Chain A
Amino acid sequence: MQRWPNVDGVFAVTHTTGCALEYNGLKHRMLGRVLAGYAKHPNVGGCLIVGLGCEQTTGGYLQQHHGVVSLHAPDGTQLTRDGGIPMLTMQTEGGTRQTIEKADALLEQVLDQANQFERETVDASHLSLAVECGGSDGYSGLTANPAVGVVSDRVVACGGLSVISETTELYGAEQLLVRRSRSKEVAKKLLDRIEWWKEYVGRYGGQIDNNPSVGNKAGGLTTITEKSLGAVSKSGGTALEAVFEYGEKMDAHGLVVMDSPGFDPASVTGKVAGGANLVMFTTGRGSCYGCKPTPVIKIATNTNLYHRMREDMDLNAGAVLEGRDLQSVGDEFFEFALRVASGQQTCSEMQGFGDHEFVPWTVGPTV
């Protein structure tokens, strides 16, 4: 990688579906949005798509339905044989080994191209902050989540985007977002997603209020309403401007909701696919999550955790319980976020995490 100093790394976006699904049905569209969102992500300087050839989700599908287009080599020549998508089809290339050889050559060209990007000073309106909580405990809603809410307000004030998701963990507190919605249409869209989740969970004999996990309960959270009231504080106090479907490109500024499950890898994958270029992730029990291509800042809800898992935690919100003012802790976190956006590595980045956290959420039968 020394040959390409402006490139932070290469990662493989693999998944476990893509066929045995209805063509352009709900499941297919959700997967397509996420794959296309990663291919076109601002943190992704270049990509190469590899497919088998006979599946439902080919490069051709992504081109036709999700706007994935071609790349050119720095000297102007097209990177792909057919001038369409930078894609290799194993069945056309002649099998596994041939594909790998061709990919090796193409990747060098893609890296050359990605290496042309250099850092320059820009203002914080370019920030697209995803806020997430995982492994929550009784402190999450007291310390880390409200502190992230302060950061969310700052990012919005700078003209950036802040996105909260985990719809199943907004249930119970959704009225707080409804009241702050920019319009009735936005509010209704949020309530529609909540209703969808109630019906979806109910279809399998479950109950949406049976959410808190074993770890949540061990940490002191009893009901989903309690958990969600703590979770929603990550969204700060600004108006809710829009509600996006899972993995949908977030063409907006201000605070938005993206529909997603509470499952962290899937939740973050959706927000990254929609364009999030920074993640703030609060945890009370001790999440070890990291992401590529978007840096994740991990915030401990309590000082005990911060010290116990020191190599996985970037920030300590436990300071709020030790007399520090919430606003000043939040401001400190915002300044840290700017440094990370400027290239300072987070703990999870230093440990190289993120190769195995691509989890596109899809809804629908595998047939």
Chain B
Amino acid sequence: MNEATEKSGLIRLDPADNVAVATKTLARGEEIELGGHTLVVAQDIPAGHKIAVGGAQVGESIVKYGQPIGLVTNEIRPGDHVHTQNLTDHHVVSDDLSEINPPPSPSGFQGHSKDFVGPTDALVPGITLPSCPR
């Protein structure tokens, strides 16, 4: 799913994403290979911040993790820093419950439960403790 390694300085999380995340500070003018194309960094991008992979017009969605994360407020060109200066939130809570599809309960971890060394069960309120060996 990830198209880039740490060496190139970019991670694109999902093929549908129109932004990638900088894994190190990217300098304006740097050229980075991404999916067979060359992306030219348009401004300095701090590590952890987003860079536009494609262009986007005002009112279009920015997609990350394969999901819309907000709407464009100022025109974005490939290589632009995508952040508060050109992106705003636009989420609508849906009350549609028709697509509920819970996965089945997992059947067990490698066939058995893992053990750990824990304290005995918590004191049950109201019960006198059994006498302790001295």
Q: What per-residue 1/0 map shows which CB atoms of B96-134 lie under 8 Å from chain A?
A: 010111111111110001111111111101101101100
Nearest B residue to A124 via CB reads B114
A237→B87 contact, CB < 8 A: no
Residues of A with C-beta under 8 A to B83: 217, 220, 222
State whether A172 and B103 are in contact (beta carbons under 8 Å apart), knowing that A124-B113, A321-B23 are contacts in the complex: no
Q: How far is the CB of B20 from chain A (nearest CB, A)?
A: 11
Residues of B in contact (CB 8 Å), total 58
Q: What per-residue 1/0 map shows which CB atoms of A18-45 lie under 8 Å from chain B?
A: 0000000000000000000000111111
A191 to B107, CA, bound (A): 29
Candidate in A46, A218, A226, A322 with the most chain B CB atoms within 10 angstroms = A226
Whether A70 sits at the interface, judged by CB under 8 Å, is: yes
Whether B67 sits at the interface, judged by CB under 8 Å, is: yes
Whether A158 sits at the interface, judged by CB under 8 Å, is: yes
Residues of B with C-beta under 8 A to A158: 108-109, 113-114
A154→B50 contact, CB < 8 A: no
A323→B122 contact, CB < 8 A: no
A71 to B124, CA, bound (A): 10
Other-chain residue from A46, A159, A181 in contact with B100 (beta carbon distance below 8 A):
A181
A142→B118 contact, CB < 8 A: no
A182 to B105, CA, bound (A): 10
Nearest A residue to B95 via CB reads A191
Residues of B with C-beta under 8 A to A222: 50, 69-70, 82-84, 87
Residues of A in contact (CB 8 Å), total 86
Q: How far is the CB of A235 from chain B (nearest CB, A)?
A: 12
A305 to B5, CA, bound (A): 20
Nearest B residue to A229 via CB reads B65
Q: How far is the CB of A251 from chain B (nearest CB, A)?
A: 14
A239 to B103, CA, bound (A): 6
Q: What per-residue 1/0 map shows which CB atoms of A37-77 lie under 8 Å from chain B?
A: 00011111110000000000000000000011111101010
A302 to B47, CA, bound (A): 10
Total A-B residue contacts, Cβ distance less than 8 Å: 196
Whether B68 sits at the interface, judged by CB under 8 Å, is: yes
Q: What per-residue 1/0 map shows which CB atoms of B39-52 lie under 8 Å from chain A?
A: 00000001111100
Residues of B with C-beta under 8 A to A72: 128-129
Residues of B with C-beta under 8 A to A68: 125
A46 to B125, CA, bound (A): 11
Q: How far is the CB of A155 from chain B (nearest CB, A)?
A: 9
Residues of B with C-beta under 8 A to A159: 113
State whether A172 and B99 are in contact (beta carbons under 8 Å apart), knowing that A138-B49, A142-B11 are contacts in the complex: no
Q: How far is the CB of A162 from chain B (nearest CB, A)?
A: 12
Whether A96 sits at the interface, judged by CB under 8 Å, is: no
Residues of B with C-beta under 8 A to A113: 129
Candidate in B49, B82, B94 with the most chain A CB atoms within 10 angstroms = B49
B69→A122 contact, CB < 8 A: no
A88 to B22, CA, bound (A): 57
Q: How far is the CB of B118 from chain A (nearest CB, A)?
A: 5
Q: How far is the CB of B37 from chain A (nearest CB, A)?
A: 22
**Could you list which residues of chain A lie within 8 angstroms of chain B, going by C-beta atoms?**
40-46, 67-72, 74, 76, 113, 116-127, 137-139, 141-142, 153-154, 156-159, 171-175, 178-184, 187-188, 191, 194-195, 198, 209, 217-220, 222-226, 229-230, 237-240, 254, 284, 302, 304, 321-323, 334, 338-339, 341-343
What are 13 A-B residue pairs whose CB atoms fall within 8 Å in the complex?
A74-B129, A119-B120, A120-B119, A139-B21, A157-B109, A158-B113, A172-B89, A187-B97, A220-B50, A223-B88, A229-B67, A230-B65, A321-B11
10 A-B pairs closest in CB distance: A138-B48, A220-B48, A239-B102, A42-B122, A123-B113, A223-B89, A157-B106, A220-B49, A342-B117, A209-B89
Extra contacts besides A42-B119, A139-B48, A220-B49 (9): CB < 8 Å = A43-B119, A124-B113, A179-B99, A223-B89, A225-B90, A226-B69, A229-B64, A237-B103, A338-B116
